[in-house]
C-alpha cells in the first residue's frame, strides 16, 4: 500500500513539475499542458505508461512493484506534441480498432489517454501493439520510449 501511495505521489509531482516547466517555457496556461497515458491489461497482466514533458513512468504490474522512471528526450516530446496537435481529441473515443483479439483475452486490451489541462480524452479500446491508424504514431513512440514491449 505504501508503494502505491509513493508511485501516485511521484506521478502527481512529475505532472506538477511538468506544468511549472511549461509555464517557464512560455506555456503559462495550465489548461493547455499535455500528458499521455497508455494502459494495456487483461486478466493476468497490467501495464501502464505515463508520459509528461519531463519523464516517462512505466508500471508493469497492478501491485506497482515493478516501476521504472526515466527522463523524456526533447525529440520524443516534440514528436508526441506535434502528433497531438494534429489529432482530433474529441474523436479519440470513436476510433475503430483494426483488430479485436482482446475480446477473447488473446491480446491485452489497450487505450490511450491524452490529458489536456483538466480534461482527459480516452481512445476506444484496441489490441495492445495494434492501435487505430490515427494514433499509431503516438502509441508506438510511447511504447518505444517505455520499457514495455509492443506485443
Model confidence pLDDT, tens digit, residues 75-132: 999 999 999 999 999 999 999 999 999 998 899 999 999 999 999 999 999 999 999 9
Q: Is the pLDDT of residue 9 over 50?
A: no
Please check the confidence at residue 3 and state whether its pLDDT lies above 60: no
Exposure class string for 29-63: b at 16+ Cβ within 10 A, else e = eeeebbbbbbbbbeeeebbbbbbbbbbbbbbbeee
**pLDDT above 90: residue 8:** no
Do 38 and 129 meet the contact criterion of CB atoms below 8 Å apart? no
| 64 φψ region: left (φ > 0), alpha (ψ -120 to 50), beta (else) | left
Q: Is the pLDDT assigned to residue 74 strictly greater than 60?
A: yes
Return the DSSP state at 107.
S
CA distance 83 to 78: 9
Mean pLDDT over each residue of the chain, to the nearest integer = 84
- What DSSP character marks residue 130? B
Amino acid at each position: 500500500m505504501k508503494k502505491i501511495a509513493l508511485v501516485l505521489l511521484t506521478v502527481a509531482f512529475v505532472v506538477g513539475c511538468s506544468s511549472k516547466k511549461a509555464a517557464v517555457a512560455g506555456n503559462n496556461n495550465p489548461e493547455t499542458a499535455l500528458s499521455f497515458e497508455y494502459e494495456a491489461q487483461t486478466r493476468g497482466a497490467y501495464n501502464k505508461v505515463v508520459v509528461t514533458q519531463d519523464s516517462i513512468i512505466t508500471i508493469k504490474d497492478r501491485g506497482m512493484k515493478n516501476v521504472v522512471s526515466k527522463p523524456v528526450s526533447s525529440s520524443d516530446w516534440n514528436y508526441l506534441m506535434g502528433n497531438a496537435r494534429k489529432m482530433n481529441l474529441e474523436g479519440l473515443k470513436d476510433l475503430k480498432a483494426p483488430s479485436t483479439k482482446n475480446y477473447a483475452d488473446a491480446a491485452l486490451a489497450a487505450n490511450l489517454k491524452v490529458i489536456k489541462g483538466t480534461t482527459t480524452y480516452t481512445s476506444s479500446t484496441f489490441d495492445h501493439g495494434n492501435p487505430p491508424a490515427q494514433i499509431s504514431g503516438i502509441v508506438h513512440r510511447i511504447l518505444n520510449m517505455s520499457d514495455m514491449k509492443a506485443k
